[in-house]
């Protein structure tokens, strides 16, 4: 598949990026509005978010034949299912799951952006989203002793920043789809 076909599929499916962004923003806001979430509630919210995010990444990755997004989506689905299968997960384990997911996800976002750099104006936003994911994952891995409330706020901040970035990308893709595809 040519890069222009790949970009065209992204542009025609701009709404998937918007939906991903809105879900992330909603999740991030919930983390700040209700900071007293219990760990079990956080587990279920994260599991739901991972499954939804993974499904959306699989959808767009499958349509574009983008293996990096397909793999990232599959990892999101697996992480989400594991959180529901093992609801008694500890804060440390949840932290490692979230950190690993963000790290892998970020790497694949950066790979996708580099692949699209000559075809998509503003690909740096996808690199920023990937870099935010990588930095977030590394921060969690380097400081696993963070309290549950701090983890909720970190997750909320990450989700807000990632969601806003995805919304901006969605509208750029929408504009691109009206002009080129």
pLDDT tens-digit profile of 52-92? 999 999 998 999 888 988 999 999 999 889 888 887 665 67
The answer to whether the CB of 10 falls within 8 A of the CB of 60 is yes
- Per-residue confidence band for 155, with pLDDT thresholds at 50, 70 and 90: confident
Query: How many beta carbons lie within 10 A of that of residue 147, not counting itself?
Result: 9
Contacts of 26 (CB under 8 A, 6+ apart): 163
Here the CATH number for the domain that contains residue 119 is 1.25.40
pLDDT digit string (tens) for 31-43?
888 766 655 677 7
Q: Provide the domain count of the chain.
A: 1
148, two tokens: 């549950």
Long-range contact set of residues 80-85: C-beta below 8 Å, sequence gap at least 24: 80/46, 80/47, 80/48, 80/49, 80/50, 80/51, 80/52, 80/54, 81/47, 81/51, 82/47, 83/43, 83/44, 83/46, 83/47, 83/50, 84/44, 84/47
Location of structure tokens 């920023």: 128
pLDDT of residue 18: 94
21, two tokens: 């962004």
CA distance to 38, 81, 87, 93, 109, per residue, from 97 (Å)? 17, 12, 13, 6, 18
Distance CA 129, CA 56 (A): 16
- Residue-range definition of the domain harbouring residue 161: 3-180
pLDDT of residue 55: 94
156, two tokens: 């909320």
Ranges 15-19, 102-106, 145-149: which has the least confidence: 145-149
68, two tokens: 């990096």
pLDDT of residue 115: 87
pTM score of the predicted model:
0.58
Contacts of 47 (CB under 8 A, 6+ apart): 79, 80, 81, 82, 83, 84
């Amino acid at each position: 598949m040519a890069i222009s076909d790949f970009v065209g599929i992204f542009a025609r499916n701009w709404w998937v990026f918007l939906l991903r962004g809105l879900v992330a923003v909603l999740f991030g806001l919930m983390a700040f509005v209700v900071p007293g979430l219990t760990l079990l509630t956080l587990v279920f919210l994260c599991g739901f978010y991972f499954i939804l995010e993974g499904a959306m990444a699989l959808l767009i990755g499958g349509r574009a034949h983008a293996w990096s997004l397909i793999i990232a989506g599959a990892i999101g689905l697996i992480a989400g299912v594991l959180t529901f299968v093992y609801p008694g997960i500890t804060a440390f384990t949840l932290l490692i799951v979230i950190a690993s997911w963000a790290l892998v996800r970020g790497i694949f976002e950066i790979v996708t952006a580099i692949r699209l750099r000559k075809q998509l104006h503003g690909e740096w936003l996808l690199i920023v989203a990937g870099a935010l994911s990588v930095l977030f994952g590394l921060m969690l891995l380097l400081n696993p002793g963070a309290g549950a409330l701090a983890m909720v706020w970190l997750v909320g901040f990450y989700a807000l920043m990632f969601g806003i970035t995805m919304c901006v990308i969605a509208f750029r893709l929408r504009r691109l789809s009206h002009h080129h595809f």
